[in-house]
């Protein structure tokens, strides 16, 4: 049987005019979600699609996940939730980033479900629901060690004991050190959450984010909610990444020039050439989300992270030279054959040859930031092998 070719959907800038392109492998994204769903069993598996599906586009990501069997989605903002509903009307959508009174009519109309994480929000929700015969559902967020959003464990236990309170449809907490399974705080959070599950018996619960799914001592839960791992990022620190690469970022080479030994490169003259150097100047910069901290020199972070970022072209990795600027980044291609690359060619910034998280580490950050910083000047190609009707 002949293998089916992926269908290509395009978006963003015209490829003839754009300085770079993003290739998003939706088949790989679906394969990652299915892998995480299998690992989560017997729990159900949701998908976190906040920040416009980690920069990849809700309108493209949600439909393929729905087709794969995902029925529950988490977003940060109600506005994002409405965009999920527009492409998956029957999806169950939870809104993580708090609740404000003026948004109540939207929740009444849209079937979105807020995640409430303070006594103030709970009181407000109760007040606004008072005149309704059928109360709108909500999720209860409890802080078990993150010190960010959520009721304290003590507040949640007291709330559970008060029979006058409307019960949530889901109980959640968030792991603070999930990417480091050896950290003692994980076990403390698991134990606290188990007490909460007992107090809220019969209510669906969720503790496992991407790294949490990989914990062997995670205990019982009903719903996992993967995020970064679904998009190809590393779920655990200091462990091989089992996820498939989803995103490839490439920039076009604008010009190739030769700098002479002793000359300097870029803003601040931070790099002095130690040899005659062939330089590929590429149409990508921090305005496109390719972070200035990836620079080869001339930024404070280089004191902490010795090497800057790299590109991949003509079968080899090549280092960034000088500073990443708003629209342009330079690479040292001296070690490539003279005719190996030319203006108009593409250089990979991360993808199959430079892992997302390796590129992030070179910039002193994490894969989350690189994905969610992707700008709108790229030509985007979405690859998806459609199933037969």
**Angle, CA 371 vertex, CA 333 and CA 386 arms, to 5°:** 100
> In whole angstroms, what is the distance from residue 272 CA to residue 301 CA?
19
333, 313 in Cβ contact below 8 A? yes
User: In this structure, what is the dihedral angle of CA atoms 267, 270, 274, 280, given to the nearest 10 degrees?
Assistant: -40
281, 252 in Cβ contact below 8 A? no
Closest by CA to 378, choosing from 56, 67, 43, is 56
249: Cα within 13 Å, side-chain hemisphere: 30
Residue 138 is among the residues annotated as catalytic for this protein: no
201, 171 in Cβ contact below 8 A? no
Options 127, 195, 267, 317, the catalytic residue: 267
Q: Is 381 marked as binding a ligand?
A: no
Residue 167 is among the residues annotated as catalytic for this protein: no
Q: Is 326 marked as binding a ligand?
A: yes
> In whole angstroms, what is the distance from residue 20 CA to residue 283 CA?
7
Distance set, CA 75 to CA 11, 33, 162, 210, 228 (Å): 22, 16, 29, 15, 13
191, 207 in Cβ contact below 8 A? no
Closest by CA to 96, choosing from 116, 122, 70, is 116
Options 50, 54, 85, 107, the catalytic residue: 50
> In whole angstroms, what is the distance from residue 378 CA to residue 351 CA?
15
145, 188 in Cβ contact below 8 A? yes
> In whole angstroms, what is the distance from residue 8 CA to residue 198 CA?
48
360, 366 in Cβ contact below 8 A? yes
Structure tokens at 280: 């590929």
- Feature table: binding site for substrate: 148, 326
The residues carrying an active-site annotation are 50, 267
- Feature table: binding site: 148, 326
């Amino acid at each position: 049987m002949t293998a089916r070719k992926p269908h290509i959907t395009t978006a963003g800038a015209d490829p003839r005019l754009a300085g770079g392109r993003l290739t998003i492998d939706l088949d790989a994204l679906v394969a990652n979600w299915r892998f995480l769903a299998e690992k989560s069993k017997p729990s159900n598996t949701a998908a976190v699609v906040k920040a416009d599906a980690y920069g990849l586009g809700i309108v493209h990501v949600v439909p393929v996940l729905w087709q794969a069997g995902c029925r529950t989605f988490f977003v940060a903002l109600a506005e994002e939730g409405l965009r999920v509903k527009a492409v998956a009307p029957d999806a169950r959508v939870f809104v993580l980033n708090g609740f404000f009174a003026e948004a109540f009519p939207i929740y009444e109309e849209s079937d979105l479900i807020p995640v409430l994480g303070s006594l103030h929000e709970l009181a407000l929700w109760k007040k606004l629901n008072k005149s309704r015969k059928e109360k709108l559902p909500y999720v209860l967020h409890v802080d078990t060690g993150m010190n960010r959003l959520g009721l304290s464990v003590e507040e949640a236990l007291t709330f559970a004991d008060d029979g006058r309170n409307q019960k949530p449809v889901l109980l959640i907490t968030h792991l603070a050190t999930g990417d480091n399974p050896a950290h003692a705080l994980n076990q403390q959070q698991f134990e606290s959450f188990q007490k909460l599950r007992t107090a809220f018996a019969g209510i669906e619960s969720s503790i496992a984010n991407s790294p949490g799914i990989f914990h062997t001592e995670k205990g019982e839960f009903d719903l996992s909610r993967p995020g970064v791992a679904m998009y190809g990022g590393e779920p655990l620190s200091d462990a091989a990444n089992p996820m498939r690469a989803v995103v490839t970022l490439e920039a076009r080479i604008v010009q190739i020039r030769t700098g002479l030994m002793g000359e300097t490169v870029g803003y601040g003259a931070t790099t002095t050439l130690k040899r005659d150097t062939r330089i590929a100047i590429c149409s990508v910069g921090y305005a496109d989300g390719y972070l200035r901290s990836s620079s080869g020199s001339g930024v404070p972070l280089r004191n902490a992270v010795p090497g800057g970022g790299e590109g991949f072209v003509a079968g080899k990795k090549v280092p960034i030279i000088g500073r990443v600027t708003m629209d342009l980044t330079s690479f040292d291609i001296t070690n490539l054959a003279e005719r190996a690359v030319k203006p108009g060619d593409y250089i990979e910034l991360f993808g199959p040859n430079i892992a997302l998280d390796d590129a992030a580490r070179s910039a002193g950050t994490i894969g989350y930031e690189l994905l969610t910083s992707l700008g709108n000047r790229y030509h985007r190609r979405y690859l998806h092998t459609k199933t037969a009707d």
